Amino acid sequence: MVAWRPNLFVKMVAILLSLIAATLLFYGMSYRKDVGVITSQIKTTDLNHLEFLTQQMDNNINQLAGSMYALQRDPTIRDYEQITQLGHLIDPAQTIMTVLEKLSLQTSSSTWENRIVLYKPFSGETLGSDSSLSFDVSVLHKPLPAGWEYISADRAGAEAGFRLLLSDPAQATSRPREAQLLMSMYLPVSNIERMFDAYQSQNTGDTFLYHPSFGFILSRSSDRQMAEQVTAALNISAGKSTSDIFDLKQGSFLVSSVPSSAIDWQVVHYSPLKEILQPIRSSRSSFLTGSAILLVMSLLFSLQLYRQVQRPVSLLLRSLNRMKEGRWSTRIHTRTNPEFTLLNEEFNDMAEKIQSLIEQVYLEQLRAKDAHLKQLQSQINPHFLYNCLFFIKSKAAIGDTESVEAMALSLGEYYRYITRVDHSLTTLQDELKLLETYLKIQNLRKQRIRYEVDMESELLDLHIPRLLIQPLVENSIIHGIERKIGPGSIRITGRHTREAILITVEDNGAGMTEEAIAALQVRINETTREDGGCGLWNVQQRLKLHYGEASGLMIAPSPEGGLITTLRMEKKEEPDAPNSIG
């Protein structure tokens, strides 16, 4: 075995590639370090921005809560609470008007939309900043929540939000029905959505609120599916701020999370890492482009050596490999230096002689195969003809002219079909018509055969060799139904799989034992037979010659008592039949 030795071109290219690979390796290590530092800084900056946004949101919510507590201690609210007892000392109508003015002033003084409702459990009176507001009396049946409570859209009406409930006296928090006055402030989530929208206009990515029990509060431009992926990947710890990078379906994302001290929700912000690291990646692309240009320029120095030696040798080796793979028409038409041009011409002469010899041998094999196929097919006809002529003779002897006429017509149709020599193939539909004619002939003789054909419609135009199914039906009649007393039935079905076409002939004849079936399978698989072969052996040989060794007959017992003979034809392309198996 000759040891492989690198030529000069390979050595030069190896050295150049080693230098460039070392440069790329050191640059890659530096790039990874820079990305790590920048990513750490981005995490800190993104978390600081999100903490500032959360603090602004909490401040607005806390201001509204503080105004509610101040309103609870307002003298006018106190007078309204005791308006029944103080009716002789104050003007009730004027007190109510003053309360409404203060409620309206309170709701309008804040930049955030809010609604305030006062409710007296004992009298059921309701007073709100808007005359259309009502009090949710369902809160009377349970203790009041501490702090802000989230109200979903189906409970708040048109919009979800947060609600703050206060009672007077404060001891009535656990028993709201005993309170003299209940105060409710409702804060729609649209305030938070607008705040997030303003934040999004200055930052990349998306921002939303998340609570494990209530789900999401998204901005108008948020993607719910992305929010679900982010929260599924994010391990939210109560009271802790986090910032990390996660690999999601859409790529890598920087995700930061900050808890809200006012409403006990988590403010989450995510942004694609690709956009954040775009500047440093652009620098990397420039470096790689420069490295590629350097590589091309370096390779130009060795190009001349490659064109004069390496390329002609490689071309000759590829041509030899094609010849080894069986591509006998391979020729070399490239002209190089005089030495290799002479070598290529000698190769072409050798390839031409080899192709000529192989084509001669191949054509002889095809002729022998075609002659063998025709000889096998011609063996089928005489046996059937003798039986039919004997039937005509018998019926003519007793004067049954109708049976003689019917047999003669059917026999004429049968031999008109099998004596056509324009093509060795036929369609499955024509083969089925032949079977019907054949079964009519058999019924004239037996008068006790019932048959059924169930064939997939897309198989009817399939091209197959002539007289491929008829011997199977004939075998079912002669060796199955004729050996059994009573009516006989034959079922012919056809279907196709991804690898093959399967045509099945099933009968209810006398059947065979498993040992007899195994012995029959061995006989039909013999390559040659001195007695000329039976009908099944004939079909088996034609199947293997026409469709390959994977095709053939499979014989098995039938639940009806007879046999199931399956004709398997492997799919392939037939150059002389456009609708052949394949």
Per residue in 144-183, pLDDT tens? 888 888 888 765 456 788 988 888 887 778 888 888 888 8
- Coil/strand/helix, residue 467: coil
**Mean pLDDT, rounded, of the chain:** 80
According to the model, what pLDDT value does residue 420 have? Answer: 67
Locate all alpha helices (DSSP H) within 325-379, ordered by sequence.
Answer: 338-378
Whole-angstrom CA distances from 454 to 451, 459, 460 are 10, 11, 11
**313, two tokens:** 């040798």
According to the model, what pLDDT value does residue 37 have? Answer: 77
Please, which residues have CB within 8 angstroms of residue 309's CB and are 6 or more apart in sequence?
7, 9
Do the beta carbons of residue 273 and residue 252 sit within 8 Å? Answer: yes
> Which of 236-252 are b and which e, b meaning 16 or more Cβ less than 10 Å from the residue's Cβ?
eeeeebbbeebeeeeee
* Cα distance between residue 185 and residue 114, in whole Å: 7
How many Cβ atoms are within 10 Å of 535's Cβ, its own excluded? 21
Does residue 578 register a pLDDT over 60? Answer: no
Q: Calculate mean pLDDT across residues 81-101.
A: 78
Triad 515, 518, 523: Cα angle to 5°: 125
Pairwise pLDDT comparison (429 vs 332), residue with the higher score:
429
Residues 339-397: tens digit of each pLDDT: 777 777 777 888 888 878 877 777 666 655 654 555 445 544 566 677 778 888 888 88
The residue written with tokens 């041509």 in the block is 319
* Cα distance between residue 104 and residue 4, in whole Å: 94
Beta-sheet strand order (sheet of 500-507): 449-455, 488-496, 500-507, 563-570, 552-557
SS3 content of the chain, % helix, strand, coil (to 5): 55, 20, 30
According to the model, what pLDDT value does residue 179 have? Answer: 84
According to the model, what pLDDT value does residue 574 have? Answer: 47
How many Cβ atoms are within 10 Å of 314's Cβ, its own excluded? 11
- Coil/strand/helix, residue 164: strand
Beta bridge partners of 115: 186
Does residue 582 register a pLDDT over 60? Answer: no
* Cα distance between residue 25 and residue 92, in whole Å: 86
Q: Calculate mean pLDDT across residues 130-140.
A: 80
Q: Which of 227-241, 255-269, 280-294 is predicted with the least confidence, judged by mean pLDDT?
A: 280-294
Does residue 567 register a pLDDT over 90? Answer: yes
Length of the chain: 582
- Full-model pTM: 0.47
Does residue 575 register a pLDDT over 60? Answer: no
Residues 414-459: tens digit of each pLDDT: 878 777 656 668 899 988 998 888 888 888 877 788 889 999 989 9
Do the beta carbons of residue 152 and residue 214 sit within 8 Å? Answer: yes
Does residue 476 register a pLDDT over 70? Answer: yes
Nearest to 231 by CA among 249, 221, 216: 216
* Cα distance between residue 543 and residue 368, in whole Å: 16
Please give the sequence-ordered ranges of beta strands (E in DSSP) within 201-288, or none if there are none.
206-211, 215-218, 242-248, 251-259, 266-272
Triad 559, 569, 519: Cα angle to 5°: 50
Whole-angstrom CA distances from 199 to 195, 208, 221 are 6, 11, 12
Does residue 7 register a pLDDT over 70? Answer: no
- Coil/strand/helix, residue 234: coil
* Cα distance between residue 512 and residue 497, in whole Å: 28
Please, which residues have CB within 8 angstroms of residue 275's CB and are 6 or more apart in sequence?
204
* Cα distance between residue 335 and residue 343, in whole Å: 10
Q: Calculate mean pLDDT across residues 43-56.
A: 88
Do the beta carbons of residue 453 and residue 473 sit within 8 Å? Answer: no
Q: Calculate mean pLDDT across residues 458-473.
A: 87
* pLDDT class of 507 with cuts at 50, 70, 90: very high
The residue written with tokens 């992926």 in the block is 229
